């Protein structure tokens, strides 16, 4: 599949402080790429370099297979840090500015985009009087002017209420699925990101420490069983015999045994333990999600 964004050892230094170090990433057409990192990890600096707001100290960026970034950036829509608009103008006037700047399309595209982001009926209300969710949607709407093939969004759901988050998520999914827009999105809300993205990159201390697809994440975050028993030593030997393929781990300081890689029904294990006169207090199925995975990766790094 066609590469939309390719970075090669992208580096940014401010004086002696290294903010982004040799980040090499690859985003393919149709991806929704979730960019994850703590505050100050280098997410925004990376995004600013990709968007042309900051010059890289070293490294290369290729957009749509071209090193001539001016050409490529015409096809990129951005919302960086916060949606940017003229506050004393209406949503339509702000869209008009962006349309005038970029679009070779008919002026109707302004109203179509306003409809798409749910701001068609706001009339002459000034953008500064919008709710946070409306401002975010206006920012995304402005980024959509010029019919971009690639959207770069830095924390687009920051500060939104649950309804606003759902609206932005469904808008982005719609753009990706129905318009084929590739999306690069950074967010702190990892559960939200896990519902949206199909590829992820984790940045920590300026370095891209992991890159994986949704299927790779599922493999890495396989579920396991937590079985709490009254006699862990006996339970371990019984379970070892009963499920030889599974990996068993005693959680230190507790009466809980973790069973990894067991494909059968949890009830089977309970039955075997009960037959061997081991009292089972509880059996729970635990799943590691993106947040847990991120914490384990970043925790390990630190």
Partner 1 sequence: MGRLLCVDFYKIFRTKFFYVVSLILVGFNVLISVTSVLAGLRNYEKFAFFESKSGAWSVTYANFSNIALLLAILSVLFLCSEFSHGTMKNIATKGFPREFIYLSKFFVGLSCAVFYLLLTIASSLISSLIAGGNRLPSYYSLPSNLALTLLLTLFFLAVYVSIALMIASLVRKSGNSLAIYVVASTLISFLPDLLDNFIRNTLNWDFSISSYVYVRCFNEITQMGIVSNIPSADIVRYVCVGGFFLALTLIIGIYYFRERDI
Summarize as ranges the residues that interact with partner 1 (CB under 8 A). Answer: 48, 51-55, 69-74, 76, 78, 80-89, 93, 96-98, 100-102, 142, 146
Closest distance to partner 1 from the beta carbon of 84 (Å):
3
Closest distance to partner 1 from the beta carbon of 46 (Å):
13
Closest distance to partner 1 from the beta carbon of 90 (Å):
10
- Taking the least distance from each CB to partner 1, the nearer of 151 and 165 is 151
* Burial of 223 from C-beta contacts in 10 A (0-12 / 13-18 / 19+): exposed
Separation between Cα atoms, residue 180 and residue 93, nearest integer Å: 27
Contact 200/212 with Cβ under 8 angstroms? yes
Closest distance to partner 1 from the beta carbon of 171 (Å):
19
Closest distance to partner 1 from the beta carbon of 67 (Å):
13
- Taking the least distance from each CB to partner 1, the nearer of 135 and 224 is 135
Contact 213/280 with Cβ under 8 angstroms? no
- And the tokens for 291? 């947040």
Closest distance to partner 1 from the beta carbon of 132 (Å):
15
- Taking the least distance from each CB to partner 1, the nearer of 84 and 288 is 84
- Taking the least distance from each CB to partner 1, the nearer of 14 and 279 is 14
CA atoms lying within 13 Å on the CB side of residue 176: 21
- Taking the least distance from each CB to partner 1, the nearer of 72 and 206 is 72
- Taking the least distance from each CB to partner 1, the nearer of 86 and 295 is 86
- Taking the least distance from each CB to partner 1, the nearer of 81 and 301 is 81
Closest distance to partner 1 from the beta carbon of 250 (Å):
52
- And the tokens for 280? 């089972």
């Amino acid at each position: 599949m066609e590469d939309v964004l390719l970075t090669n050892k992208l580096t940014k230094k401010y004086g002696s402080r290294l903010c982004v170090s040799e980040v090499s990433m690859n985003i393919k057409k149709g991806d929704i790429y979730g960019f994850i990192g703590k505050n100050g990890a280098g997410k925004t600096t990376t995004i600013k370099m990709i968007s042309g707001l900051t010059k890289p100290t070293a490294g290369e960026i290729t957009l749509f297979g071209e090193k001539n970034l001016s050409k490529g950036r015409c096809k990129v829509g951005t919302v960086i840090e916060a949606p940017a608009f003229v506050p004393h103008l209406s949503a339509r006037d702000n869209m008009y500015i962006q349309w005038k700047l970029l679009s070779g399309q008919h002026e109707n595209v302004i109203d179509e985009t306003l409809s798409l982001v749910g701001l068609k009926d706001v009339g002459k209300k000034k953008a500064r009087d919008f709710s946070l969710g409306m401002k975010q949607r206006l920012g995304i709407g402005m980024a959509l002017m010029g019919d971009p093939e690639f959207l770069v969004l830095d924390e687009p759901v920051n500060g939104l209420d649950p309804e606003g988050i759902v609206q932005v998520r469904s808008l982005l999914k719609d753009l990706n699925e129905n318009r084929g827009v590739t999306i690069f999105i950074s967010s702190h809300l990892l559960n939200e990101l896990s519902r949206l993205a199909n590829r992820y990159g984790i940045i920590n201390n300026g370095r891209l420490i992991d890159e994986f697809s949704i299927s790779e994440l599922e493999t890495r975050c396989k579920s396991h069983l937590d079985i709490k028993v009254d006699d862990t030593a006996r339970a371990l030997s019984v379970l070892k015999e009963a499920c030889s393929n599974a990996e068993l781990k005693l959680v230190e300081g507790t009466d809980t045994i973790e069973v990894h890689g067991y494909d059968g029904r949890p009830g089977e294990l309970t039955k075997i333990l009960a037959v061997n006169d081991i009292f089972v207090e509880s059996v729970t199925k635990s799943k590691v999600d993106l947040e847990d995975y991120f914490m384990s990766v970043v925790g390990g790094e630190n």
